[in-house]
A and B are shown apart, each in its own frame.
Chain A
Amino acid sequence: MAIADTPSAARRCSSSTGWRPGAIWPYLDGTGPSQGRVLCSRAGSPSSSGVVRPSPAHILGSDRCGFASGGVAGAAEAQNDIDVLNPPPEVEKLNHKKELLVQPSSSMDVNCQRSLTMYPCVTGTSVIAFKYKDGVIMACDTGASYGSTLRYKSVERIKAVGKHSLIGASGEFSDFQEILRYLDELTLSDHMWDDGNSLGPKEIHSYLTRVMYNRRNKFDPLWNSLVLGGVKKGPKGDEKYLGMVNMIGTHFEENYVATGFGNHLAIPILRAEWHEDITFEEAVKLVEKCLLVLLYRDRSSINKFQIAKITTEGPTIHPPYSLKAYWGFSHFENPAQGAVGSW
C-alpha cells in the first residue's frame, strides 16, 4: 500500500516538521516514556506521557521510515506522521479510547486523545526538608485534597529512590506517581549495568530537572514541586545533598527547602533556627515546630505527618503520627469579654 496515494496521505507526508498535537517526542537526554504501552486519557487531568499508540507499520509502509518498528526511536518517528486531528479509521480502531463521562475542557479538539495540563485535581500540600548531621530529614503530612475536599488521608508523599535518595512531592498526586514510574525505570536500567555504581541524589535531581523542564516546554507540565534529598559517598567523604525542582523547571540546591505554603510559613523558622550539624533529635523538634505552624495556618494540611530520613545506612520512612495542637488561650474562651454583645 503506497503511502502517497490519497491526497490526505500526501498531506500527512508533507507535514513532517513542526509540533503536532499528540506527537511523542523523546526527551533531549535520550530517555523517554517507553513506547508501546497504551495509556488512557482521563477527563480533566491528563495522563502525563500522553497516549502512545502501537506502531501501525502497515499504514505507513516500511519504506516510509527507515527505522525498525520495534525500536523506541522508530516508534516515535512513526507516531509523528499520523494526522492526529483527522486520524484514519484504522488507526482509530486500534486505539483504546476511554469513555469520557465528563467532556474535557481543554483547548484542543475533543477527538484529540491528549489534552494539556490545565489544572491539578488531587493535590498534596507542603513538604519540608533540611540537612542535619547524619543526612537529610524530610517531612510532610499524609493528606491529598480533591479541590477543597480532603479526599485522601493516608497518602505517602515521600518515597525512597534507590539506596541514596528520598523524593517528596507536593502538587498533583497522579503526576507524582508517574514520576515515580520514571524513576523506577531509571534506577532499574541503571541497576542492570551491574557495575557497582548506583545513582546518587545529584544525578536523580538532574534527571528530574530535565524531565520537568522539557515537559514545561511542551506546555504540558507535571504539576509538582519536588524535593530531592540524599547522602552518597563522594570524593570528600559522605556528601549530603538537598535540592528542589518545581513544575516549570526551576531548580536549586539548598540546606533547607520547603514547597507550597511551607515557603511562607516554614522557611522563616528554618532560616532563623537551622544550623549546620543539627542533631537528629533537634532536627525532629524543628520539623515538628514547622509542621505545627503549617497545621494551624494551612487549610489543606491534616494532623497526620510522616517524617523520613536518609543517611549513609539508607532511607527510613517512619510511620505516620499526629502532633498535639494547643487551643487553650484565654482569649479564645471569651473573645467578647471586653464588650458583651459586640460583634
Chain B
Amino acid sequence: MTGSMDLPAKGGFSFDLCRRNNMLEKNGLKLPGFRKTGTTIVGLVFQDGVVLGADTRATEGPIVADKNCEKIHFMAPNIYCCGAGTAADTEAVTDMVSSQLQLHRYATGHESRVVTALTLLKSHLFRYQGHVSAALVLGGVDCTGPHLHTVYPHGSTDTLPFATMGSGSLAAMSVFESKYKEGLTREEGIQLVSDAICAGIFNDLGSGSNVDVCVITKGKTEYLRNHQLPNPRTYASSKGYSFTKGQTEVLSTKITPLKQKVEVTGGGDAMEE
C-alpha cells in the first residue's frame, strides 16, 4: 500500500533537505561558504590532438587559498579534464568518473573514449540538477580522433574547436577568438593556450599565479606542470642574505651585567612524590 516505501530502489537525489535548507536560510541561517577555483581554463584542438591549459589559483572569497593548485585532472591516460567551479566538486566528480573509466577499460580491454567520459560526467551532473557546481573542459585523443568538450554544472555539453571556462573565460576567449585558426602546430597551440591563460591571469582577479599546460596526442600525453611562471617572487634573493658585523653603524654601547647567582632564602618545599 502507499507507505513510506515508495522511494526508488537506487539512484536519484533526495531533495527533501533542500526545502529545510531554504527554510533555514529564510529564517536567517548563514550557509557555510565553499572554496571555489575562480579560474581560467581553456582547451583547443590542434592538428595532432588537444592542448588543455589552466591557471593555478584557488580562491576562497577574496583570499587566495592555494596559489599553486592543480586544475588539470587525470581521467584516463589519453583523456584529461580541467575543472572550474567548486574545487571539491570538480575533484570528486573527475575522480569518480576516472575510476569508472578504469573499470570500463578492464571490462572492455580497450582505450577509453572521450565521449564515454563525457556521457558519464553529464549524466551525473544532470542528476544533481546543478548542485554539483563543476564546469569542466574535457579533452582527449582516442581511436576516433581528437575531441574537446565543455560540460556545464547543469549537465549540458558543447563540442568545440576551442573552449574556455571559469571567471577568466571572457579574457581567454577574446584571445582565442582573435587568434585561433585550424591546423595549428604543437608549438603554436601551446603558445596560444599560454597566451589565453595569461590573459585570464592578468585581467581577471579570480585567476592568477602560474600556467599549467597538458598536450594530448595519439599515444602520448605530456603534462607540463607550471609551464610558465609569469608571477615570480621578485624580492627573494637567490644568494641568501648575509648580515656581517660592521654593516650597521653602532651609535652607543651600554653593558649591564646580569647577576650571576641567585640566592634562595628559606627552604623550598620538597617536591611531592
> Which residues of A line the B interface, CB within 8 A?
261, 264-269, 271-272, 289-290, 292-293, 296-297, 329-332, 335-339, 342-343
Judging by beta carbons under 8 Å apart, are B174 and A331 in contact? no
The chain B residue sitting closest to A269, CB to CB, is B174
The 10 closest A-B pairs by CB, nearest first: A264-B170, A335-B159, A339-B115, A331-B161, A268-B171, A268-B199, A293-B177, A265-B174, A268-B203, A329-B161
A-B contact pairs, 18 of them (CB 8 A): A264-B171, A265-B174, A268-B170, A268-B175, A272-B195, A292-B177, A293-B178, A296-B177, A297-B174, A297-B177, A331-B160, A331-B161, A335-B160, A337-B144, A338-B142, A338-B145, A338-B159, A342-B118
The chain B residue sitting closest to A331, CB to CB, is B161
Judging by beta carbons under 8 Å apart, are B147 and A269 in contact? no
In the complex, B119 has a CB within 8 A of chain A? yes
Q: Whole-angstrom distance from the CB of B117 to the nearest CB of chain A? A: 11
Please measure, in the bound complex, the distance between the C-alpha atom of A261 and the C-alpha atom of B174, giving whole angstroms. Answer: 11
In the complex, B74 has a CB within 8 A of chain A? no
Q: Whole-angstrom distance from the CB of A301 to the nearest CB of chain B? A: 13
Judging by beta carbons under 8 Å apart, are A338 and B173 in contact? no
Identify B159's interface contact among A266, A289, A296, A331, CB under 8 A.
A331
Q: Whole-angstrom distance from the CB of B176 to the nearest CB of chain A? A: 9
Please measure, in the bound complex, the distance between the C-alpha atom of A297 and the C-alpha atom of B150, giving whole angstroms. Answer: 16
Residues from 90 to 129 in B contacting A, C-beta threshold 8 Å: 113-115, 118-119
Residues of A contacting B199 in the complex (Cβ-Cβ under 8 angstroms): 268, 271-272
Please measure, in the bound complex, the distance between the C-alpha atom of A297 and the C-alpha atom of B148, giving whole angstroms. Answer: 19
Q: Whole-angstrom distance from the CB of B74 to the nearest CB of chain A? A: 20
Judging by beta carbons under 8 Å apart, are B170 and A265 in contact? yes
Please measure, in the bound complex, the distance between the C-alpha atom of A296 and the C-alpha atom of B174, giving whole angstroms. Answer: 9
Q: Whole-angstrom distance from the CB of B170 to the nearest CB of chain A? A: 4
Residues of B contacting A332 in the complex (Cβ-Cβ under 8 angstroms): 161
In the complex, B87 has a CB within 8 A of chain A? no
In the complex, B269 has a CB within 8 A of chain A? no
Please measure, in the bound complex, the distance between the C-alpha atom of A330 and the C-alpha atom of B183, giving whole angstroms. Answer: 10
Please measure, in the bound complex, the distance between the C-alpha atom of A330 and the C-alpha atom of B115, giving whole angstroms. Answer: 18
Residues of A contacting B195 in the complex (Cβ-Cβ under 8 angstroms): 272
Identify A269's interface contact among B114, B145, B178, CB under 8 A.
B178
In the complex, B202 has a CB within 8 A of chain A? yes
In the complex, B182 has a CB within 8 A of chain A? yes
Residues from 139 to 186 in B contacting A, C-beta threshold 8 Å: 142, 144-145, 147-148, 157-161, 170-171, 173-175, 177-178, 182
The chain B residue sitting closest to A270, CB to CB, is B174
The chain B residue sitting closest to A262, CB to CB, is B174
Q: How many residues of B contact A (CB 8 A)?
A: 28
The chain B residue sitting closest to A296, CB to CB, is B177
Please measure, in the bound complex, the distance between the C-alpha atom of A332 and the C-alpha atom of B171, giving whole angstroms. Answer: 22
Identify A331's interface contact among B45, B118, B157, B171, CB under 8 A.
B45
- Give the residue among B144, B170, B195 with the most A Cβ atoms within 10 A: B170
Residues of A contacting B174 in the complex (Cβ-Cβ under 8 angstroms): 264-266, 268-269, 290, 293, 297
Identify B115's interface contact among A271, A297, A338, CB under 8 A.
A338
Please measure, in the bound complex, the distance between the C-alpha atom of A264 and the C-alpha atom of B113, giving whole angstroms. Answer: 35
Residues of B contacting A268 in the complex (Cβ-Cβ under 8 angstroms): 170-171, 174-175, 199, 202-203
Judging by beta carbons under 8 Å apart, are A338 and B177 in contact? no
Please measure, in the bound complex, the distance between the C-alpha atom of A272 and the C-alpha atom of B148, giving whole angstroms. Answer: 27
Residues from 193 to 207 in B contacting A, C-beta threshold 8 Å: 195, 199, 202-203
Residues of A contacting B113 in the complex (Cβ-Cβ under 8 angstroms): 338-339
Judging by beta carbons under 8 Å apart, are A297 and B170 in contact? yes
Please measure, in the bound complex, the distance between the C-alpha atom of A164 and the C-alpha atom of B170, giving whole angstroms. Answer: 34
Besides A289-B178, A338-B144, 13 other CB < 8 A contacts? A264-B171, A265-B174, A268-B170, A268-B174, A269-B175, A271-B203, A297-B170, A331-B159, A335-B158, A336-B159, A338-B114, A338-B115, A339-B144
Please measure, in the bound complex, the distance between the C-alpha atom of A336 and the C-alpha atom of B114, giving whole angstroms. Answer: 12
Please measure, in the bound complex, the distance between the C-alpha atom of A265 and the C-alpha atom of B175, giving whole angstroms. Answer: 9
Residues of A contacting B202 in the complex (Cβ-Cβ under 8 angstroms): 268, 271
- Give the residue among A290, A331, A338, A342 with the most B Cβ atoms within 10 A: A338
Please measure, in the bound complex, the distance between the C-alpha atom of A22 and the C-alpha atom of B93, giving whole angstroms. Answer: 58
Q: Whole-angstrom distance from the CB of A339 to the nearest CB of chain B? A: 4
The chain A residue sitting closest to B176, CB to CB, is A293
Judging by beta carbons under 8 Å apart, are B173 and A297 in contact? yes
Q: Whole-angstrom distance from the CB of A245 to the nearest CB of chain B? A: 22
Please measure, in the bound complex, the distance between the C-alpha atom of A343 and the C-alpha atom of B174, giving whole angstroms. Answer: 27
Judging by beta carbons under 8 Å apart, are A292 and B178 in contact? yes
Q: Whole-angstrom distance from the CB of A196 to the nearest CB of chain B? A: 44
Q: Whole-angstrom distance from the CB of A342 to the nearest CB of chain B? A: 6
The chain A residue sitting closest to B169, CB to CB, is A264
The chain A residue sitting closest to B144, CB to CB, is A338
The chain A residue sitting closest to B158, CB to CB, is A335
Residues of B contacting A265 in the complex (Cβ-Cβ under 8 angstroms): 170-171, 173-174
